[in-house]
Amino acid sequence: MFGIHQKLERNAIGFVIAIIVVSSIGGFMEIAPLFTIHETVEEAPDMRLYTPLEVAGRNIYIREGCYACHSQMIRTLRDDVERYGPYSLAVESKYDHPMLWGSKRTGPDLARVGGKYSDAWHVAHLINPRDVVPESIMPGYRWLAETPLKVDDLSLHLAAQRKVGVPYTDEMIANAAADAYGQAMPDSPFAAGVTARYGDATNVRAFDGQPDRLTEMDALVAYLQVLGRLTDAPYQQTASTEGAKP
Ligand code: HEC
């Protein structure tokens, strides 16, 4: 064995070929799973898109670094599933650019937090977590409730998402700012357009409890309330084994 290596090292061409052979075995191992990706990623025909308000909330989530303490990926492990609900499917991250799976859980996983609490709970929790969870070490984000949401660049955010494969239509992109207002102001003339474009299952309400103002709190709570609720696929797939329901 040592003899072969010594000979090979003295033969430049032979050594180069040997390196190529060995590294291509490693390379093949890495790309092999991609050959069957179409069988591994489930179908979810009912998958909804993030509305402009939810996209804005997601951007705030990224801006504030929530992902540094919260993951958004429930593993197939039994204790994960028992605590958080059906494990995350690949298809659920289909429109997540960038993905926010995370690897650190200082706080709980948030992949299925949508619908778990009321909007008022989230608002109180984000303003001061200790008001609702006395032992919490999460920081407060009280300025979100007072900061008006910037909507003039939402069309650009949607257009950028479309570039990477999210099927927003021209109409959705053109109406992004109006739809953001409409979703958080159910009594405004813009509200009807939101459900027409994004589906009846879309949450349309004053997320921050102030129906006359559009704040960053509206956007972040709207986003938290759809986490794990954009498709029914995970609940159907695992319902038989886990008995879990949304
Ligand atoms: C320093 C780490 C840290 C950061 C940063 C952080 N959190 Fe938390 N979060 C926690 C901890 C710890 C808990 C559990 C205690 C509690 O409920 O407050 C928690 C709980 C939560 C819960 C309740 C989850 C559940 O299932 O009960 C939500 C929702 C949440 N955080 C959202 C956020 C959002 C949104 C942000 C960013 C604006 C954020 N967190 C930033 C640590 C953090």
Q: Which residue range forms the structural domain that includes residue 117?
A: 52-242
Share of the chain above pLDDT 90, in %: 83
DSSP string, 73-137: ---SSHHHHHHHSSPPPGGGGTT-SS----S--SS---TT-TTTS-HHHHHHHHH-GGGTSTT--
Instruction: Please report whether residue 148 resides in a domain.
Output: yes
pTM listed for this prediction: 0.88
| Amino acid letter, 78 | R
pLDDT above 60: residue 42: yes
Instruction: Please report whether residue 46 resides in a domain.
Output: no
Segment 227-236 mean pLDDT: 92
Instruction: Please report whether residue 147 resides in a domain.
Output: yes
DSSP 3-state percent helix, strand, coil across the chain (nearest 5): 55, 0, 45
pLDDT above 70: residue 11: yes
The larger pLDDT score, comparing residue 29 to residue 1, is at 29
CATH number at residue 195: 1.10.760.10
Tokens 């709970």 identify what position? 121
pLDDT above 60: residue 240: no
**Whose CA is closest to atom 2 on ligand 1?**
69
Q: Is the CB of 239 under 6 A from ligand 1?
A: no
Instruction: Please report whether residue 45 resides in a domain.
Output: no
Q: Is the CB of 133 under 6 A from ligand 1?
A: yes
Instruction: Please report whether residue 219 resides in a domain.
Output: yes
**Whose CA is closest to atom 21 on ligand 1?**
107
Segment 71-81 mean pLDDT: 95
pLDDT above 50: residue 9: yes
Domain co-membership, 19 together with 116: no
Q: For residue 74, what are the CA distances in angstroms to 51, 64, 103, 108?
A: 23, 22, 11, 10
pLDDT, tens digit, 9 for 90 and up, residues 182-197? 999 999 999 999 999 9
Q: Is the CB of 69 under 6 A from ligand 1?
A: yes
Q: How many Cβ atoms are within 10 Å of 60's Cβ, its own excluded?
A: 18
Domain co-membership, 97 together with 212: yes
Q: pLDDT tier at 244 (50, 70, 90 boundaries)? A: very low
pLDDT above 70: residue 98: yes
**Whose CA is closest to atom 7 on ligand 1?**
138
Domain co-membership, 18 together with 60: no
CA distance 62 to 172: 23
| Dihedral pair phi/psi, residue 52, rounded to 5° | -55, -40
Domain co-membership, 20 together with 70: no
Domain co-membership, 121 together with 56: yes
Lowest-pLDDT range of 38-47, 78-87, 146-155, 200-209: 38-47
Average pLDDT in the chain: 93
For residue 60, give the ligand 1 atom closest to its CA: 38
Domain co-membership, 82 together with 197: yes
Q: Which of 195, 172, 187, 184 is nearest to 221 (CA)?
A: 184
Domain co-membership, 81 together with 175: yes
Domain co-membership, 15 together with 81: no
Residue 187 Cα, ligand 1 centroid: separation in angstroms? 31
The whole-number pLDDT of residue 237 equals 67
The whole-number pLDDT of residue 246 equals 47
Domain co-membership, 28 together with 68: no
Domain co-membership, 17 together with 56: no
The whole-number pLDDT of residue 40 equals 81
Q: pLDDT tier at 1 (50, 70, 90 boundaries)? A: low
The whole-number pLDDT of residue 103 equals 85
Asked if 179 and 51 count as a contact pair (C-beta separation under 8 A), the reply is yes
What total of structural domains would you count in the chain?
Answer: 2
Instruction: Please report whether residue 96 resides in a domain.
Output: yes
pLDDT, tens digit, 9 for 90 and up, residues 196-223? 999 999 999 999 999 999 999 999 999 9
DSSP string, 180-233: HHHHH-TTSTTHHHHHHHH-TTS--S-TTS-TT--BHHHHHHHHHTTTT-S-SH
